[in-house]
Amino acid sequence: MQLMLAFRTEVGSRQLVWAALADENEFALRGEYISGSCVKEVSDFVLSPDGKKAEGLIWEDTLDILNKVDPRVSEIVMEFLSSKA
């Protein structure tokens, strides 16, 4: 038996809205882990080499899925990421 924990859509959306509106400085929360409407410390796994590898795989899988929905996704992502560098 597997146990799954997740936020309901309503609760999860509150986290996104809070992160988007919580600070006037748009870069203050960039890359931070948000839970319960506050910044939390990330787990050791996230900081480990295995975590970095998982991050890359999840990102690539997400892009693959979104590109099947709309082929412009990769172009938009590349444009956005390269303009922020």
| Per-domain boundaries in the chain | 1-41, 44-85
Which pLDDT does position 81 carry in this prediction?
Answer: 79
Query: Looking at residues 65-73, what average pLDDT do you find?
Result: 94
Nearest to 13 by CA among 42, 37, 39: 37
Which pLDDT does position 3 carry in this prediction?
Answer: 67
pLDDT digits (tens, 9 = 90+) for 14-38: 888 888 887 766 677 777 888 888 8
38 C-beta neighbours (distance < 10 Å), count: 11
Higher pLDDT, 81 or 17: 17
Tokens in use for 41? 């410390």
Over 80: is that where the pLDDT of 84 sits?
A: no
79 C-beta neighbours (distance < 10 Å), count: 11
Query: Looking at residues 45-73, what average pLDDT do you find?
Result: 94
Tokens in use for 13? 């959306």
